Structure 1
Amino acid sequence: MNLPHALLGVVLTGATLLPGTPATPLTRFYDQPVEWAACGDPLLDHVGARCAQITVPLDYSQPRGKTIKIAISRIKATDPGKRRGVMLSNPGGPGGAGLNFMGYISQRMTREVTSRYDLIGMDPRGVGRSAPVDCGWPIGHMLWSAGPTRATFRRAVQAQADLAQRCARREGDRIAHITTRNTARDMDVIRAALGEAKISYFGMSYGTYLGAVYTQMFPQRSDRFVLDSAIDPARYMAGSIRNSGPANEAALDDWAAWTAERDPEYHLGTTARQVRARVESLIKTPIRIGEHLVDERFLPMLIFTLLPDARENARLAARVRLLADAAAGKPVRPSADLEQELQFTLYGKPQGYASQAAVICGDAAVPRDPARYWRDIQRSRATQPVFGPYANNITACAFWPTPREPATKVGNDVPALIVQATGDTRTVYQEGVNLRRAMPAARLVTLRDVRMHGVFGRLPNTCVETAVNTYFASGTLPADDLTCRADPS
C-alpha cells in the first residue's frame, strides 16, 4: 500500500527500540542485524574502522518492494565508559562519498569527543558503495558555464537535455528515489539498526542541508548537530548556486590583488584590474591544454574550483599562467592535479557525477523555460562577467521528471551549531545566517574575513575548533552567536 508522503516522517519515527512500539512495514529495516567487516579503505583500515551494509527500501512508500544497501563505517568510541552514542556525517556534494570522511574529520576532534562517540561515515544512497547512480555521462557533471554567446548557451541547453535523457534511459524510475529526504530516512534506519535512540551529526556544505532536513523530519531523534558551511534550505539548490556568482567574483578580485603583488613571479599584471582582465580574456575561447581542448563551458570552472580556499592562491595563479601560455600557443602540459581535474570534468573519468544531479533535480523543481535562464545570464554579465553565466545557467534539472515530494521546509527548535566563513564562495555567508533564523535554538559561529568553504577539519582555527569540540563533548552551545577570526599564523 502506498503511504501518503505527509505520513512518511510520522511512520519512520516509530522505531522498534521503544517497548510497545507497534510493528510497521519498516520494522524489519529498523531491527536488522549489523555485520561488521574490514573496510578495504587505506585510511579507515589504518584508524581501525570497520564497515557494514545497511538494507533500506528503495522507495519508502513501498517498504515491501525493492531494497538497496547503504555502506557505513564506524570508528568506535575510545572510552566505552564515557560513550554517548553515534555521530553520523556527510562531506557535501550532493553526491560526495563519505565512507572515510570521519577518518579525516576526527583528526581535529579532541579526545573528549572521540571517546564519547562512534564516528559513522556513510556513502549516501546513489553514491560510492551505496547503489551508485551511473548515467553513462560523457562528461563529469552538470554544473558549468553557459559561455559568452547565445550560440554557446544553445549548446549548453542541448547538452543538459542530453544528460537528463541519458539518466532516464539508463537508470529509469530508480533515480527518482535518490533524494535528500530518502537519505535522511536511511540515516534513521541506520540509527535504529545501531541500537540508538538519537544521533549526533557533523555535516559540511550540502551535508548541512541533509542535516537540517533530518532535524525537520526526525526532531526527536536529533541530538547534537554541527552544520559547517551551511545551505539556506529556502534557497536550496538553484538559489544557492545563484548566490555563489557574486561571491566568486569578489573572491576573484581578492585573488587578483594577491597575484598582482607577485607579478615578477606570475606575469599576469601589476594591478588587480589587469589580472582580472587577463582572466576574462582567457574564458572567451577554447584553449588547448596538453591533449585537451577546454571550451567556454569549463574554462571558468578551472578557476572556480580553487577559489574557495585562499591558501590555494599560488596554485590558482600558476594555473592561470599555464592557461595564458596555452592560449598564446605555447606547448604546455597540465600539472598532475589539473590533469586529474580535466579527466573528470571533460570525460567523466573515472566516473561522472550523475549522483549529484539525481539529488539536486530530485529534491526540488526548477524553471523549465530556457529563455528565462538566458535572460538571467544576460542580466548577470555586467557585475558577474566570469561566473554569472555559470551561476545562472540551465542544468539538467530543467529536463528532469517532477520530484516525487515537495522540497523540505525547515523551521524547528532543534539545537545546532552552525559554522560559516564570511568569505565562503560556495555557500555564502548569508545562507548560514538564514539557516540560523530557520533554527532559532541554534547558534551561529562566524569566521570573519576568511575565504574558506568547509572550515572544521580543513582550516585550522582555534576558535572554531573549540566551539565545535565543546558542543560535541558537553552539549554546551555558546550563550549567543559567536565571532571568530583567523589564527595569527
Structure 2
Amino acid sequence: MAAVTATAAAVALLASAGGASALAASGARQPGPDGGLARFEQQKITWHDCRTGPDDAIGAQLEAAGARCAEVTVPLDHARPDGPAIEVAISRLRATDPGRRRGALLINPGGPGDPGRIYAPLLKATMPTLAARYDLIGMDPRFTGRSTPLNCHWPIGDYVRSTGHDRRGFDRIAAQAQDLASRCAGLREMLPHASARATARDMDLIRAALGEPKLSYLGGSYGTYLGAVYMQLFPARADRFVLDSALDPAAAGPGYARPMGPYLAKALKEWAGWAARHHGRYRLGSTTARVLATVGRIDRAAARTPLRIGRYRVDTHVFPAILLLSLGRDSEQAYAALAADLQVLDDAARGAEITSAPSLEEGLAYLSSPETDGAGSARMAITCADGPASRDVDAYYRDIQAHRADEPLFGPLTRAMNLPCAFWPASAAEPPTRIRNDVPALIVGASGDPKTPYPGQRAMHRALSGSRMVTVRGAFRHLVSGVFTATRNACVDDAVGRYLLDGVLPAEDTVCADAPAR
C-alpha cells in the first residue's frame, strides 16, 4: 500500500504594528502591559546535531543535508507567559547565498500536527533557488515530533474509521471514539492549548528568537489555515506567504472533513477510469462503471465478513479509510499502487486466501498498530482545540443518514471522522480565529482536490482579500507545489518561486494546465 504508507510517512501574543485596535479585532488574548514574553523573544537559540541516536532516521537525513537543530522555549499558555513552558523543535538550513539572503522561510506540511523539521532539506532539494535566498526553517508544531509531546497512548495509531452501513456500526465507532477521548483525560492541562492560534504564536516567538523582523512561510493543507491564522494575528510580521491546497477557514476544527465526501467520490471515479484503461493488468473492470462496481462489491463483502489480508482484517470500517488515505495523489505510480491494493482486496472478497501482500499489509499496519509517539492523539487534540464540536452523538448519525444516498461510501467516514471531539475531556482555551484580512499571499491548488475541496480553497481566497490564486485545472491531487508532491507542475513552481524570490504576485488569478514540470 505505497499510497497509504506515503501518507503515514506522510506556532506570539504581542500585537503587530496595527496597535491595540488590530489586536482587539483579531481576538488575540492580551496579557500584562509588557506581555511578559521578552524572555521568550530574546532567548538564545542553541543549535546542535540533529541526531538523537543511531536509530534517528530523520535526524540523520537532516544532518546529511547540513541542517542544525534546536529547541525554542514557548509558554504552554501564551496568556500566562509566567506559567508552564514547553519546547518546540526546529531545524535550520542557512541560505546558500548569504550575500543575497532575504530572511527566514518556515515550512509546515499540514496534518494537522505533521512534524515539519525534515521539510527544510526537502525544500532545498526541490527548489534550490529558494534555499539560496532563505534560511529554511522546519518546525515540529507543539506536541508533535521532537517538540514537547502530547501522547494519550492510543491502542490504534490512526483514528480514521468509517462508521459503516448501519446504526450498529456507528455505535461501535462512537464507543471507540469515547474510549480514545477518555485516554487523553490525564492531559487536560495541555489539551486547551493545542490550537492553531497557540502554534501561530509559537511561530512568532521563533521569528523573534531568530532575530527576524518578518517571517515568510510555505504551508500545505492544514498548514494553510495555520498560515492564515498567523497572518490574522500578526499581519505586519507576515512577509511572503504561500498556501498550498487551502483549507476553508470556516471549516477548521472538528468539521473540516465533512465536505470531503463528494470530492473523494469524484477522485475515485477519475482513478476508476484509469483502472479501466489498465483492465488487462489489474482485472478490476473494463469500464469506469465496472471498476466502481468492483469497489462497491469489496465494500459489501467487507461489511459481511472482514477480509483476511495476512494477519490483518479489512472490515467495513477500514476499507473506506484505505481509499481516503490513497486518494489525493493522481500520478501513474499512485494510481497503480491503489489498483494493486484493490486487486488483492477483490481477490479476498471473492474468497481467495491472501497469504502475502507486503505493500497492503504495511499500510494496514499503520492503520491498526498502537501509537508510539502520540501522533494520532496530538492530531486530534489540535482538531478539537481549533473549533467547537457537537456533543450530541446522535446528531452525527442523523447527518450521515441524511447523506447516505448521495454519499454511501465516504459520508459515513468523513461526516464522523473527528467523533472523539464529541467526548473530548477539555475545551479550547480560545474561540476560533476569524480569517479576514488583506495581507498579500499566494494560494495554489488543484480544482479536483478531494481533501481540501476547491470551494473551500476559494473561500480562503475570499477571506484573504490581498491574495492571488493559481489553480491546476483538471488535477485530482492534494498539494501541488514541489516540496509537497512528486507530481510537480512547472506553472505552479514558477509562480511560487517568483513570489518568494521577487515578491511578485500574479496580476490576476491564474489557471495552469495539468502538465508535469520538466
Q: Give the TM interval when normalised to the shorter protein.
A: over 0.9
Match of 2:36 in 1: 25
1:65 aligns with 2:83: yes
Distance (Å, rounded) in 1 between the aligned partners of 2:317 and 2:403? 16
Q: Is the 8 A contact 1:138 1:348 kept in 2?
A: yes
Aligned residue runs from structure 1 range 110-125, under 5 A:
110-111=128-129, 113-125=130-142
Identity percentage over the alignment? 45
Distance (Å, rounded) in 2 between the aligned partners of 1:253 and 1:49? 42
Match of 2:5 in 1: none
Aligned-partner residue type, residue 183 of structure 2: R
Distance (Å, rounded) in 2 between the aligned partners of 1:333 and 1:49? 43
**What are the ranges of 5 or more consecutive residues in structure 2 without an aligned counterpart?**
1-11, 20-32, 52-58
Q: Secondary structure at the match of 1:173?
A: coil
Match of 2:386 in 1: 363
Distance (Å, rounded) in 1 between the aligned partners of 2:250 and 2:434? 7
Bigger drift between 197-206 and 427-436 goes to 427-436
Aligned residue runs from structure 1 range 262-341, under 5 A:
262-284=278-300, 285=303, 286-311=306-331, 312-333=334-355, 335-341=357-363
Match of 1:440 in 2: 465
CA deviation after TM superposition for structure 1 residue 47, in Å:
1.5
Counterpart pick for 2:49 among 30, 38, 41: 38
Aligned-partner residue type, residue 436 of structure 1: H
Match of 1:397 in 2: 421
Distance (Å, rounded) in 2 between the aligned partners of 1:369 and 1:66? 34
Match of 2:231 in 1: 215
Q: Secondary structure at the match of 1:471?
A: helix
1:98 aligns with 2:120: no
CA deviation after TM superposition for structure 1 residue 329, in Å:
3.0
Change (3 A) 1:183 1:370: same
Match of 2:103 in 1: 85
Change (3 A) 1:56 1:137: same
Match of 1:136 in 2: 153
TM-score by length of 2: 0.88
Distance (Å, rounded) in 1 between the aligned partners of 2:101 and 2:330? 38
CA deviation after TM superposition for structure 1 residue 381, in Å:
2.0
Match of 1:163 in 2: 180
Match of 2:25 in 1: none
1:422 aligns with 2:433: no
Distance (Å, rounded) in 1 between the aligned partners of 2:81 and 2:176? 36
Distance (Å, rounded) in 2 between the aligned partners of 1:335 and 1:83? 49
Distance (Å, rounded) in 2 between the aligned partners of 1:234 and 1:24? 29
Change (3 A) 1:360 1:470: same
Aligned residue runs from structure 1 range 138-217, under 5 A:
138-169=155-186, 171-217=187-233
Q: Is the 8 A contact 1:57 1:66 kept in 2?
A: yes
Q: Is the 8 A contact 2:16 2:235 kept in 1?
A: no
* CA deviation map 1:209-267 (0-9, x unaligned): 00000000111110000000000111213443111110000111111122122222211
TM-score by length of 1: 0.93
Q: Is the 8 A contact 2:13 2:78 kept in 1?
A: no
Q: Is the 8 A contact 1:143 1:395 kept in 2?
A: no
CA deviation after TM superposition for structure 1 residue 349, in Å:
4.6
Superposition RMSD in Å: 1.8
Q: Is the 8 A contact 2:254 2:384 kept in 1?
A: no
Match of 2:514 in 1: 486
Distance (Å, rounded) in 1 between the aligned partners of 2:489 and 2:396? 39
Match of 2:474 in 1: 449
Aligned-partner residue type, residue 399 of structure 2: D
Q: Is the 8 A contact 1:108 1:465 kept in 2?
A: no
Match of 1:374 in 2: 397
**What are the ranges of 5 or more consecutive residues in structure 1 without an aligned counterpart?**
1-7, 16-21
* CA deviation map 1:103-145 (0-9, x unaligned): 212323242x222110000000010000121111111233321
1:462 aligns with 2:490: yes
Match of 1:477 in 2: 505
Bigger drift between 289-298 and 127-136 goes to 289-298
Aligned-partner residue type, residue 202 of structure 1: L
CA deviation after TM superposition for structure 1 residue 350, in Å:
4.4
Q: Is the 8 A contact 1:125 1:183 kept in 2?
A: yes
Change (3 A) 1:376 1:117: same
